[in-house]
Amino acid sequence: MAGTGQAAGTVQSDGPVQTGPDAPDAPAVPPALTVPAPVSIYLDGSLLKTEAEPVNVNGTLLVPMRRLFEGQGAKLSWNNTDKMVTATKDGITLTYRIGDLTATVNDRTVPLNAPGQISGGYTLVPLRFVSEALGSTVAWDQAARTVHVSTITFETSIRWGVNLRSSPDSGSSPADKATPSLTLVSRSANTGGQLPASAAGTQDTGGSNILELLPTGSKVHVIREVGAFWLEVRTPDNQTGYISAKPKYTDYASPSLIDKQADELIAYGETFLGTPYVFGASPDQTASFDCSSFVKRVFQDTLAVDLPRVSYDQAKEGTEIGLDELRKGDLLFFGARDLNIGHVAIYAGDKKLLHTYSEKYGVRTEAFSDYWKKRLVTARRVF
């Protein structure tokens, strides 16, 4: 654990180590009363092991510069003659001469609360100033005497309350894989549905421990995609786990995830090839379909996208796109039965349609031919 040291004549206060521009001056106390107190520094949840002890100068924490800069992804250069450090990261350029009370960030002069210094052969710089200039956040935990530096941006919003799990929930069918189990194997009473935040630690039927319920409006950082249906995420309170990647739950999207989800959507739809066509078939069963009940069922089972029942209303969902923008999983709407919109198909990629409209063929794939292009009314993207 790293500790704080001090130059003679400064004081280690009992309050938080404030390192921002509003940090108060420490009260004047004779050097003999100076008592160092340990301070730990965590960078993205891991202990930052510095080459030398941090120094508290009037409430500003100075730390060895190299690990602080490089740990936050900055490229560092040092001019030993001028004692000038330059750091660059993501369009940010920070320039600072050791000992000065100002620094330059992208040609903007910024005041410092305490100057950097060279001590014991190490170059020390203000922790909060450097971290915030590089786009990180800094938080002080007074009870634990711990500084938390986070380079992570919590960029993804939760659209619908979703359970944070200890592992992805593996299912036995495409629909199971797409729809995380929300049935709880209760250690007390079965609450059903999603787990209350107070019931963390409950296990679902897929064998995954539910860590907590992430409410609508909360933020997470996506660490990585896990297949088509899961995201490994970190929460602002530094928990890591897995949440559903279905578009209902978050606003996260990437080309790679969309491609994987579209592949799963088409693969699941193709499991119904040959299923009989029955006009007016209910989407609550899979023994038969009409065009819109097929589309509704496939999107609901695979991506939890809840479309209206009939094609006319489905054509109002999502965003209109041009034929030159088509990608797998988009919806195509056609005139049929003397209706402006009377038929819907899923674009399956490679100039093919996945749909049903005929008692002879049932669910089928076929070419997106001129026959269909002449009847096209609109194309829509719903995920």
Say whether 343 is catalytic. Answer: yes
Catalytic residue among 297, 343, 364, 380: 343
Is it the case that residue 313 has pLDDT exceeding 70?
Answer: yes
Measured between alpha carbons, how far is 281 from 261 in angstroms, rounded to an integer? 26
Domain count, the chain: 3
| Assigned domain for 15 exists | no
- Where does the pLDDT of residue 185 fall: very low under 50, low under 70, confident under 90, or very high at 90 and above? very low
What's this model's pTM, rounded to 2 decimal places?
Answer: 0.65
Is the domain of 188 the same as that of 99?
no
- The 10s digit of each residue's pLDDT in 194-217 is 444 444 667 766 668 999 999 999
- The 10s digit of each residue's pLDDT in 232-256 is 998 987 789 999 999 999 999 999 9
Higher pLDDT, 172 or 62: 62
Is it the case that residue 32 has pLDDT exceeding 80?
Answer: no
Is the domain of 48 the same as that of 103?
yes
| Assigned domain for 293 exists | yes
Say whether 148 is catalytic. Answer: no
| Assigned domain for 74 exists | yes
Is the domain of 46 the same as that of 125?
yes
Coil, strand or helix: which one is 129?
helix
Predicted local confidence at residue 130, as pLDDT = 97
Is it the case that residue 29 has pLDDT exceeding 60?
Answer: no
Helices (H) and strands (E) in the chain, counts: 7, 27
Is it the case that residue 47 has pLDDT exceeding 60?
Answer: yes
Q: Which of 252, 286, 309 is the last residue of a domain?
A: 252
Is the domain of 184 the same as that of 137?
no
Domain that holds residue 161: 156-252
Is the domain of 240 the same as that of 197?
yes
Q: Which of 135, 150, 165 is the last residue of a domain?
A: 150
Catalytic residue among 296, 355, 364, 380: 355
| Assigned domain for 17 exists | no
Is it the case that residue 152 has pLDDT exceeding 80?
Answer: yes
Catalytic residue among 125, 184, 291, 307: 291
Say whether 221 is catalytic. Answer: no
